[in-house]
A and B are shown apart, each in its own frame.
Chain A
Amino acid sequence: MGGVDAPADTSHGTHAESYTPVFVGPRREQLDAVLTRYPTKRAGLLPALWMVQETRGWISEEGMAEVAQVLELTPAYVKGVVTFYTMYHQHPVGKYFIQVCTTSPCAVCGAEGVRDAFLRHTGCEELGVTSDDGRFTVIEVECLGACGFATPVMINERFLESVTPENVPDILAGLA
């Protein structure tokens, strides 16, 4: 379980000078609105982390520290939560983050071929390693919950169904 309750100590949130806070202006208002839905500040943690990722593309140590400060948690606690959930990126990823479902129901329908086609056509050498041009990261993902439409693939927030190795080049060509 994720650590002890944090003291209301805000000194944890010292950022590197280059860090620009996320929770100012409209983002801060957005978070405050979300916090009214819950009886505790801690419950705003998953939504706050989503906001950091939407703004920055990933969640840095400084980002975690800012979230900790805003929600009165410790950075260690926040990191404990970030590392539990696979969708939070702890490192920068390619402009297009491609997740191919290869769990059993998709595997019996040829998902491994789809995965390999993405690796081949993006120039990514291996799973999880961003292409040299910074455009693509391809990973395998566990069950995307669309098993009847094998193979489902997520590209950033876009959800594609019934992808085959043959239509991978067209999908990639359609990305700006």
Chain B
Amino acid sequence: MGYPHKPHEREAVVLSKYFGDPEAATLDGWKKRGGYAALQKALGMSPPEIVSIVKDSGLRGRGGAGFPTGVKWSFMKLDDGKPHYLCCNADESEPGTFKDREIMRWTPHGLIEGCAIGAYAIGAETCYIYIRGEFTDPLERVEAALKEAYAAGILGANAMGTGKTINIYIHRGAGAYICGEETALMNSIEGRRGNPRIKPPFPAVSGVFGQPTTINNVETLAAVPHILNNGADWYKKFGRPDNPKSPGTKLFSVCGNVQRPGNYEVPLGFPFKDFLYDLCGGPKPGRRFKAIIPGGISVPIQTLDEAEASFMDYEGFVEQGTMLGSGGVIVIDDAQNLVKQIARAARFFAHESCAQCTQCREGTSWTTRILERIVAGDGSSEDLDTLLEIADNMTGKTICVLSDSCAVPVVSGIHKFRGDFEALIKKKTVHMVPAVA
């Protein structure tokens, strides 16, 4: 229920333990809660030792792709003589997702600690935290925390008195969803338009300023100090016993037509049905859930049956026709016009397309126009096939996946809720028949 809220007894609060506790945002408060012990410990270890613990923990990227973090870190060649960079992706803009915002607001030092450990582990002396421009409150909190950390000698040329250099800087975005895509993010740091780059080369080879770079999400980096403090085995205990591929806790942001929206931290593999009805309180009085988008608007829409059968981890959601994504759960009830919401999602992507790939620039825009025409009652029976054909042309054919992401709600919507589209189209046909006769 909004924020701060008392955690539900079935939550596993690790990252969110101090959400709502203003003292935890200060350096003294963070230290009192055990803060910076993990960084101290890390700086006494060798970078490969840290990478190996993170690898062993099974931590996977929490931004959406779910790539194993330790493996990503191991791509950085420590002895190449080049400057390395860590970029923390705090450009949280995936509709339905608002977890990184809370990490930055309530535990900025936890993020800084994770960034510092990550930077050291990949041989980087510089980390940029790329915060979206609209996040004024998180910006202020992280900035204040950085100031404290520098003043206390935790960061800088002699980090924690170890003689190692760790600098962390904020880079403020200026309004562009696409800058959450890792190569666009790097371009934006370099002072360029936020157009994604063609891969390869991958960031670990040639990233920001042409140097080896690792990009990690806020939630991923914030989990690292906990793993170093408690060990990989402790982290692996969270999760479904029969699915060792998805260990750990995960923050899920819940929004839309639900009794108790907000952030919930649960062990991965938690039953989605219990989550929706028990933790989030179920639908509003007199309503039923109609459709659920569990991982931010870029993942396929689930029917209620699929959602209720899902386990909340990377594999569990795939088994039920969707993806974990960023963990932004969008709940849509039976009072909504689903097609209108899909059209709104398409409009979002059309607005946010960087426009360098034709399939995306044209596809997002035409998809939006056709969907809005259907919603306005001017749809025709061929429109659904046209939409699917456009979607096919938008999938797997562009530099980044924004184009694919726009196709996803359209394709899953038409396949799973075809009746909703047809009803809108039919309404018009019925209306037209007498006029023709």
Taking Cβ atoms with an 8 Å cutoff, the residues of A that contact B are: 1-2, 37-40, 42-47, 49-50, 71, 80-81, 84-88, 99, 102-105, 107-109, 141-150, 154, 157-159, 162
- B 308-327 binary contact with A (CB < 8 Å = 1; else 0): 00000000000000000000
Are B263 and A105 neighbours in the complex by a CB distance under 8 Å? no
Q: How far is the CA of A150 from the CA of B332 in the complex (A)?
A: 14
Interface CB pairs A-B, < 8 A, 29: A1-B192, A1-B195, A2-B192, A37-B169, A38-B209, A42-B192, A44-B191, A45-B191, A46-B173, A46-B188, A84-B194, A85-B175, A86-B174, A86-B175, A87-B133, A104-B348, A108-B332, A141-B134, A142-B95, A143-B348, A144-B134, A146-B98, A147-B256, A147-B330, A148-B2, A148-B254, A148-B255, A149-B2, A159-B135
Q: Give the nearest-CB partner of A99 in chain B.
A: B134
Q: Which of B93, B98, B261, B332 has the most CB of A within 10 A?
A: B98
Are B93 and A145 neighbours in the complex by a CB distance under 8 Å? yes
Known contacts A147-B330, A158-B136: A85-B194 contact under CB 8 Å = yes
- B 177-193 binary contact with A (CB < 8 Å = 1; else 0): 10000000001111111
Expressed in whole angstroms, the minimum distance between the Cβ of A59 and any Cβ of chain B is 10
Are A87 and B169 neighbours in the complex by a CB distance under 8 Å? no
Are A145 and B135 neighbours in the complex by a CB distance under 8 Å? yes
* Cβ contacts under 8 Å, B174 to chain A: 46, 49-50, 85-88
Are B191 and A103 neighbours in the complex by a CB distance under 8 Å? no
Chain B interface residue count: which class? 35 or more
Among B83, B132, B263, B340, the residue within 8 A (CB) of A148 is B263
* Cβ contacts under 8 Å, B344 to chain A: 102-104, 107
Q: How far is the CA of A1 from the CA of B94 in the complex (A)?
A: 23
* Cβ contacts under 8 Å, B171 to chain A: 46-47
Expressed in whole angstroms, the minimum distance between the Cβ of B346 and any Cβ of chain A is 10
Known contacts A148-B254, A150-B255: A37-B194 contact under CB 8 Å = no
Q: Is B167's beta carbon under 8 Å from chain A?
A: yes
Are A159 and B134 neighbours in the complex by a CB distance under 8 Å? yes
Are B93 and A46 neighbours in the complex by a CB distance under 8 Å? no
Q: How far is the CA of A148 from the CA of B258 in the complex (A)?
A: 10
- B 330-345 binary contact with A (CB < 8 Å = 1; else 0): 1011001000110011
Expressed in whole angstroms, the minimum distance between the Cβ of B259 and any Cβ of chain A is 12
Are A37 and B167 neighbours in the complex by a CB distance under 8 Å? yes
Q: Give the nearest-CB partner of A161 in chain B.
A: B2
Q: How far is the CA of A86 from the CA of B132 in the complex (A)?
A: 12
Q: Give the nearest-CB partner of B191 in chain A.
A: A45
Q: Which of B193, B297, B333, B354 has the most CB of A within 10 A?
A: B193
Within 8 A of A (CB), among B114-139: 126, 132-137
Expressed in whole angstroms, the minimum distance between the Cβ of B365 and any Cβ of chain A is 15
Q: Is B253's beta carbon under 8 Å from chain A?
A: yes
Q: Give the nearest-CB partner of B132 in chain A.
A: A145
Are B172 and A46 neighbours in the complex by a CB distance under 8 Å? yes
Expressed in whole angstroms, the minimum distance between the Cβ of B156 and any Cβ of chain A is 13
Are B193 and A142 neighbours in the complex by a CB distance under 8 Å? no
Q: How far is the CA of A40 from the CA of B189 in the complex (A)?
A: 10
Q: Is B356's beta carbon under 8 Å from chain A?
A: yes
Q: How far is the CA of A61 from the CA of B394 in the complex (A)?
A: 36
Q: Is B306's beta carbon under 8 Å from chain A?
A: no
Known contacts A40-B191, A47-B172, A81-B192: A145-B98 contact under CB 8 Å = yes
Q: How far is the CA of A141 from the CA of B175 in the complex (A)?
A: 9
Are A148 and B194 neighbours in the complex by a CB distance under 8 Å? no
Within 8 A of A (CB), among B43-89: 83
